[in-house]
Amino acid sequence: MSYNEIEAVVEYGDGSFNVIKHGTYVICSVSKKIIPLSDLKYWSVERQEPYLDAETSFIREKEINSG
């Protein structure tokens, strides 16, 4: 990651997201790994959380629904 890359603030909607504060990436809510906005495909509208991939999205769903 270069010094000019900053974390974006994103509002997650159904099928799309809206960048509220310009940036180049978000942080996965499960793995804490960087997700470039160009690669962002998985998120929760309800929890407003981004996920690295389908597997981490599924892990989070299991965490939320097991309690």
Is 41 part of any domain?
A: yes
Is 22 part of any domain?
A: yes
Note the pTM of the prediction, 2 decimals.
0.88
| Residue 62 to residue 12: CA distance in whole angstroms | 20
User: Can you give the pLDDT at residue 67?
Assistant: 65
DSSP state at residue 29: T
In this predicted structure, the answer to whether residue 42 has a pLDDT above a threshold of 70 is yes
Give the closest residue to 26 by CA, choosing from 13, 39, 45. 39
| Residue 60 to residue 67: CA distance in whole angstroms | 12
Is 42 part of any domain?
A: yes
Is 1 part of any domain?
A: no
Alpha helices (H) along the chain:
54-65
pLDDT band at 55 (very low <50, low <70, confident <90, very high): very high
> Each residue of 8-33: pLDDT tens digit?
999 999 999 999 999 999 999 999 99
Is 44 part of any domain?
A: yes
Q: Residue 43's domain spans which residues?
A: 9-65
Q: Percentage of residues in the chain with pLDDT exceeding 70?
A: 94
How many residues belong to the chain?
67
| Strand, helix or coil for residue 20 | strand
